[in-house]
C-alpha cells in the first residue's frame, strides 16, 4: 500500500534515569523544547499536539496532550492523547501523521514522558479476563522478568541458544550505549561482568533485563511542503507506520499464547504477531528487510533482541546468534541493531520509549549520532509492541 510521507524536522529528548523532584511533565516539556529548537519552530507555530499517555502519573498522565500544551502555554492548537502501553509513542505519532496527511494541520508536536516508581511495573488495577496479558499476571503469576526468562528458555530449547549468546547481546549494546549521552547507563560490560551479575529469572541475569526509568522524548513532524518553507529540502521522512493488532489463535488462553506478543498469525509458527507488525510497516514504506541499514528494536531482555532479528526478517528463525557473533548487528557491521544502546542502556519509560526510538532513527539518518553513527544510514526501522496487542513500528528514510 502506498502511504504519503511526513517530515521529521525536530527531535528532542530528556536523558533517561531517576530524577527526584522532577515530574513527568518536566521531562516531557524539556524534550518538547529540545525538539522545537531542533526544528527551528516556535511553540506558537505548532498546530497540533499528540501526547502519549502515562497511566502511573494520575489524571494529568491520562490527558498528556493537554497537560504538555498547558505546561508550554495554551495557545489554541488542537490536542489529542493516546494510550497503547509501550506502543503509545508510535500511536501518538500515527495520529499526528494522519492529521498532516489529511490536510488538517501542517506541523505537529508529538511528546511522551514518564516518571515511574522503583521496581517492576505492576499491572493496571482491575479485572480484565479478556486481556491475555492480565491473564498472564493473574493465572500463572508471571512478572515481566519471569516472562522474559521463559522466552529465553524457549530460544534455548528451539534453537540451541546459550547463556553466552544472551550475554553477548548485552556486551554489544553496552558498548553502543556508552556512546549515547541520553542513555541512563553508559558503562561497558564484558561477558564476565554479565555472568557475575545475579540471576533474576533463569537463565537471565540482572544485566540482561531492562530496568524501569524516568525519561521523555519528542518529535516535531510536518508536511513536506512545510519543511521546504523552513528551508529543509532533504528531511528525514516517515515512510511507514504500523500499529496493527494480532490475529487471535483459536482460543485466547491456549498455551503457550498466554500473552499478546506470543500470538501466532493463523496458527503459523513462522508468522507471529511481531512478524505482522514489521510486515505492515514494510508494506507501507514499499521496502523489504534487505533495504534496512539499521534497526532499533525492543530489547526488554537480551534474549528478546535475538527474537527481533528473526521477526523483522534479518535472518531465518534460529539464525540470530550467527548475525550477532559475526558482528553484523554491531556498529560497523552489515545491519547494526540498537545503535542507541537499546532499552538495556535506557530502561523503560513507557510513553516515551517508542518516540525515543524514532529520535534515534532521525539522528542516525541525519548523520548526527556522533560516535555511535551508522555509516551511510539511509533507511532505519524502529519496532516494539504494547500490551494487549498494540503493534508499534516506524520506518524512516532520507
Please name the fold of domain 6-120+214-237: Peroxisomal Thiolase; Chain A, domain 1 (3.40.47)
> Taking all residues of the chain, what is their mean pLDDT, rounded to a whole number?
92
Which candidate, 153, 123, 152, places its Cα nearest to that of 138?
123
How does pLDDT run across 126-140, given as a tens digit for each residue?
Answer: 777 777 777 777 777
Do the two domains 6-120+214-237 and 132-209+239-397 of this chain adopt the same fold?
yes
| Confidence check: pLDDT of 12 > 60 | yes
How does pLDDT run across 300-335, given as a tens digit for each residue?
Answer: 999 999 999 999 999 999 999 999 999 999 999 999
| 45: DSSP letter | G
CATH of domain 132-209+239-397: 3.40.47.10
Domain ranges in the chain are 6-120+214-237, 132-209+239-397
Q: Centre a 10 Å sphere on the Cβ of residue 198 and count the other Cβ atoms it contains.
A: 7
Q: Which of 66-70, 137-141, 143-147 has the highest mean pLDDT?
A: 66-70
Q: Centre a 10 Å sphere on the Cβ of residue 39 and count the other Cβ atoms it contains.
A: 27
Which candidate, 61, 371, 374, 92, places its Cα nearest to that of 218?
92
pTM of the model: 0.94
How does pLDDT run across 179-232, given as a tens digit for each residue?
Answer: 999 999 999 999 999 999 999 999 999 999 999 999 999 999 999 999 999 999
Compute the Cα dihedral for 314, 320, 323, 324 and give only its sign: positive
Amino acid at each position: 500500500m502506498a502511504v504519503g510521507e511526513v517530515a521529521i524536522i525536530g527531535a528532542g529528548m530528556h536523558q533517561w534515569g531517576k530524577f527526584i523532584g522532577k515530574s513527568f511533565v518536566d521531562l516531557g516539556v524539556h524534550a518538547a523544547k529540545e525538539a522545537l529548537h531542533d526544528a527551528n519552530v516556535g511553540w506558537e507555530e505548532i498546530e497540533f499536539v499528540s501526547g502519549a499517555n502515562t497511566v502511573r502519573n494520575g489524571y494529568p498522565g491520562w490527558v498528556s496532550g493537554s497537560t504538555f500544551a498547558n505546561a508550554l502555554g495554551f495557545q489554541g492548537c488542537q490536542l489529542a492523547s493516546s494510550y497503547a502501553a509501550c506502543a503509545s509513542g508510535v500511536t501518538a505519532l500515527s495520529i499526528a501523521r494522519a492529521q498532516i496527511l489529511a490536510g488538517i494541520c501542517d506541523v505537529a508536536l508529538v511528546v511522551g514522558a514518564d516518571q515511574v516508581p522503583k521496581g517492576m511495573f505492576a499491572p493496571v488495577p482491575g479485572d480484565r479476563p479478556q486481556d491475555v496479558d492480565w491473564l498472564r499476571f493473574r493465572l500463572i503469576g508471571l512478572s515481566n522478568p519471569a516472562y522474559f526468562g521463559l522466552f529465553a528458555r524457549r530460544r534455548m530449547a528451539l534453537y540451541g541458544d546459550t547463556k553466552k549468546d544472551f550475554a553477548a547481546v548485552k556486551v554489544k549494546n553496552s558498548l553502543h550505549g556508552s556512546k549515547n549521552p541520553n542513555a541512563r547507563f553508559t558503562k561497558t560490560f564484558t561477558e564476565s561482568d554479565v555472568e557475575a551479575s545475579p540471576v533474576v529469572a533463569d537463565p537471565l541475569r540482572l544485566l540482561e533485563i531492562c530496568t524501569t526509568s524516568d525519561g521523555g522524548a519528542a518529535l516535531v513532524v510536518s508536511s513536506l511542503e512545510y519543511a521546504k518553507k523552513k528551508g529543509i529540502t532533504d528531511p528525514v521522512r516517515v515512510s511507514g507506520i504500523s500499529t496493527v493488532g494480532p490475529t487471535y489463535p483459536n482460543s485466547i488462553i491456549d498455551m503457550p499464547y498466554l500473552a499478546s506478543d506470543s500470538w501466532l498469525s493463523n496458527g503459523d509458527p513462522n508468522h507471529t504477531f511481531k512478524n505482522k507488525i514489521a510486515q505492515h510497516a514494510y508494506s507501507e514504506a514499499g521496502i523489504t528487510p534487505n533495504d534496512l541499514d539499521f534497526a532499533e528494536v525492543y530489547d526488554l531482555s537480551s534474549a528478546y533482541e535475538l527474537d527481533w532479528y528473526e521477526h523483522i526478517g534479518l535472518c531465518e528463525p534460529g539464525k540470530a546468534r550467527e548475525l550477532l557473533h559475526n558482528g553484523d548487528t554491531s556498529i560497523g557491521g552489515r545491519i547494526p541493531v540498537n545503535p542507541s544502546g537499546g532499552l538495556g542502556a535506557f530502561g523503560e519509560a513507557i510513553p516515551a520509549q517508542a518516540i525515543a526510538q524514532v529520535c534515534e532513527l532521525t539522528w542516525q539518518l541525519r548523520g548526527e549520532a556522533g560516535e555511535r553513527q551508522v555509516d551511510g544510514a539511509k533507511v532505519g526501522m524502529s519496532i516494539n509492541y504494547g500490551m494487549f496487542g498494540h503493534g508499534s513500528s516506524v520506518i524512516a528514510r532520507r
